[in-house]
Amino acid sequence: MGSTPVIRTADFEKEVLQAEGLVLVDFFAPWCPPCQRLEPELEKVQAELGDKIKIVKLDVDQDEPLSLVYNVQKIPNMTFFRDGKVLDQYIGLLPKRDILKRIEALAEPAIS
């Protein structure tokens, strides 16, 4: 697949739960056509937002127990985390603009 890093259960705590800021975990499977179509959209989001968000992928076939912990029953599944907590979850394929809208809605409010 593309350049979005694929993590395993052993890395999940460090890469997602202990990460600072917003993290998007794409629960996917290599055989899933919608997952394959989502990959370039996620790459565009990462390119546009840079270090404002961390995007990683987790293969549901290789890490099924972790997928069950987060109630991933259908893929693609984008789960958004901050401070180790799930903020939002979206099942299905979205274009870049809609992913950006979801991220914007989850952004921490600006401090005035």
Query: What does the alpha-carbon distance between residue 24 and residue 55 come to, in Å, rounded to a whole number?
Result: 5
Give the pLDDT of residue 109. Answer: 61
88, with CB counted inside 10 A (0-12, 13-18, 19+), is: middle
Burial label for 43, CB within 10 Å (0-12, 13-18, 19+), is: middle
Mean pLDDT, the chain, as a whole number? 93
**In the CATH scheme, what is the code of domain 6-103?**
3.40.30.10
Span 41-60, mean pLDDT?
95
Q: What is the pLDDT of residue 36?
A: 96
Q: Mean pLDDT across the stretch 42-53?
A: 94
Distance CA 50, CA 29 (A): 25
pTM here? 0.92
Any idea which residues carry the catalytic annotation?
A: 32, 35
pLDDT digits 0-9 by tens, 6-19: 999 999 999 999 99
